[in-house]
Structure 1
Amino acid sequence: MSDATTGLNPAFAQIDSLQLNGGPLIICDVDEVVLHFIEPLEKRMARLGMEFIDTRYRLTGNIRHAATQDLASYEEVYDLLHGFFDDPDLHQEPVPGASRALAELSRTAQVIMLTNMPARFQKDRERVLASHGVPYPVIVNEGAKGPAVSRLAERIDGPIIFLDDSPSNLVSVRDAVNHAHIIQFIADPRFFATAEIVDGAKLTSNCWDETHRFIQGILSEHMATR
C-alpha cells in the first residue's frame, strides 16, 4: 500500500532509518514464526463463534461461523485480526527455540523483524517480542513484503535470509530479491503438515533447531569466502 503523500511504501521510512552495517541480514516474520499465532487466534475465534474450515494456509475464505456454517466475510476477518492484536489479554507464546537461535545468529548477522500489521501496533509488538527475548527492530509493513525486502537489500552486501509463513510473502520476496535465501517456516504442526511447498524455498520447516543450523551454514559459507 502506498503512502498518499510520498508515493512510497510506508515501511520504507522505517527501513531508511535503520542503522545497517551492510553485512548478512536475517529478515524474520513474527506470527507463526517466532510467536504462536494460530492457536491463540483459534481461542479468540471460538469465543466469537467462529472456526477454521480446514488447515489450508490462508485466512480469508477459510473461516466460518460455527452455528450457521456461513463463510466469514473479508470485513469480518479484518475485524477479527485487528481485535486480536487489540486484545489486552492476548497471550502469544514464543515458538520453542526461536529466541535462542536468533540470539546466536545475531552474533554474525543483523536481525530485523518484518511483520504485516497497522503501524499503531508496532510499539506493542516490539514490547511483546522483547519480553520473549527477541529484542530486534520491528518494521511494520502492509501488503506484499517483496518491496520492503528489496529496499533493505539495497543496503546489504552479504547474504539475505528471509523467513515467513505466508506463501504470498515468500513468493513476493523470491521474485523481488532473487538472491535471497527463502525459508518457509510454519510453527503450527497442522498447518505445516498441509502447507504447499513454495517453489524456490531453500528450506521448509517448523523446527528452529533445524532452521538455526541451516542459516548458520549460509553464514559460515559467507564468512569462509571473505
Structure 2
Amino acid sequence: MSDDPETARQIAELSSDDRPLLVLDVDDVLLEFLRVFPNFLDQQGFELKLRTFKLTGNIVDKLTREEADPSQVTAMIDEFFGAQADWQPLAEGAADALASFGEAAEIVLLTAMPHRHRDTRRAHLDALGLNYPLLTTEAPKGPAVRRLRGETKRPVAFVDDIPHNLASVLRAVPDAHVFHMMADPEVRALLDPLEDGMHHVTTWADAAPRIADALGIQRSV
C-alpha cells in the first residue's frame, strides 16, 4: 500500500499493465536540476555550496554569507518548481533512450514533489515530448513502486539520483533492479557508498542498455 493517499489515487487512474515496469525519477534523471538550480538561486541573491548532499545548510546569502534557513530553502524550491519550464531542460539522451524502449515496457514517472506542482510538471514534460504517466509523491517511493507493480511478478527497474529512494524501493520490492544515476563525480563523492543491489550509471547512454537487460526487453537503436 502506498503511504501517500494521493499517490495511490493517481496510480488507480492508470490502466492495468503486465509489461516489464520502468519507474523513473524526474529531477536529475529526466530533467536537469543541480546544474541549473544554482542559476535560479543566483537571481534570488543566494548561491549553492554543496558540502553535503542536501540543499538545507548549503544555500548561502551572497551578501551576508549566512545560510538560508529551512523555511527559506523550502520557499525557494517551491518557487523554482513553479517556474520549472523556464529553468529545467531535458537531461542529455533521456528522450532518445526512453523512445528506444518502444512499447516493450510500461514507463511511469515518479517525482518527489508537492502534489500542487503536478500540473505544472505535466505541462513541462509534455512540451518536451515526454508524455509518459506522471505520479507525484510526498512519501517514500517504495510503496508506490510496489503498488505500480501490482500482483504480478513482472520485472521492475527503478532509476533515481537519491540513494534513500533506491533503498525505499528495494525494501518494498526486493527483486527490483535499481539504478543510481549521477554524472557529476564531485557530487557523487559527497555520498556514502551505494548499498548492495544498487547500480551506478552516469548517463543515459550507460543506463539504457543495462535497464533493457534488467527488464529482459529489446531496444530499437
**Superposition TM-score, scaled by structure 2 size:** 0.88
Name the amino acid aligned to 1:150: R
Deviation per CA, 1:91-138: give whole Å up to 9, x if none: 311111111111112421100000011222212212211222211000
Check if 1:186 corresponds to 2:182: yes
Check if 1:22 corresponds to 2:14: no
Count of residues in Structure 1 that have an aligned counterpart in Structure 2: 217
Q: Which residue of 2 aligns with 1:163?
A: 159
Name the amino acid aligned to 2:91: V
- 1:23 Cα deviation from its structure 2 partner: 2.0
Contact kept? 1:182, 1:200, Cα under 8 Å: no
Q: Partner of 2:132: helix, strand, or coil?
A: coil
Q: Partner of 1:39: helix, strand, or coil?
A: coil
| Stretches (4+) displaced over 6 A | none
Q: Which residue of 2 aligns with 1:80?
A: 76
Counterpart-to-counterpart distance in 2, 1:163 and 1:84: 23
Q: Percent identity?
A: 32
Check if 1:42 corresponds to 2:23: no
- 1:97 to 1:8, Cα distance in 2 relative to 1, 3 A: closer
Check if 1:176 corresponds to 2:184: no
Deviation per CA, 1:167-215: give whole Å up to 9, x if none: 2211111212111111101244542454433203442122101100101
Check if 1:57 corresponds to 2:53: yes
Counterpart-to-counterpart distance in 2, 1:156 and 1:49: 50
Q: Partner of 2:146: helix, strand, or coil?
A: helix
**Superposition TM-score, scaled by structure 1 size:** 0.87
Counterpart-to-counterpart distance in 1, 2:171 and 2:124: 31
Query: In the alignment, which of 97, 117, 127 is matched to residue 101 of structure 1?
Result: 97
Specify every segment of 5 or more residues in structure 2 that has no aligned partner in the other structure, as ranges.
Answer: none
Query: In the alignment, which of 205, 209, 212 is matched to residue 208 of structure 2?
Result: 212
Counterpart-to-counterpart distance in 1, 2:4 and 2:125: 27
Q: Which residue of 2 aligns with 1:92?
A: 88
- 1:189 to 1:34, Cα distance in 2 relative to 1, 3 A: farther
- Point out the more displaced range, 173-182 or 125-134: 125-134
- Point out the more displaced range, 131-140 or 57-66: 57-66
Contact kept? 1:28, 1:113, Cα under 8 Å: yes
- 1:80 Cα deviation from its structure 2 partner: 0.7
Specify every segment of 5 or more residues in structure 1 that has no aligned partner in the other structure, as ranges.
Answer: none
Counterpart-to-counterpart distance in 2, 1:156 and 1:76: 44
Deviation per CA, 1:18-58: give whole Å up to 9, x if none: 11312210000001001101122111111112222225321
Deviation per CA, 1:41-94: give whole Å up to 9, x if none: 111111112222225321122222232222221111110110001127623111
Query: In the alignment, which of 129, 137, 143 is matched to residue 125 of structure 2?
Result: 129
- CA RMSD of superposed structures (Å): 2.2
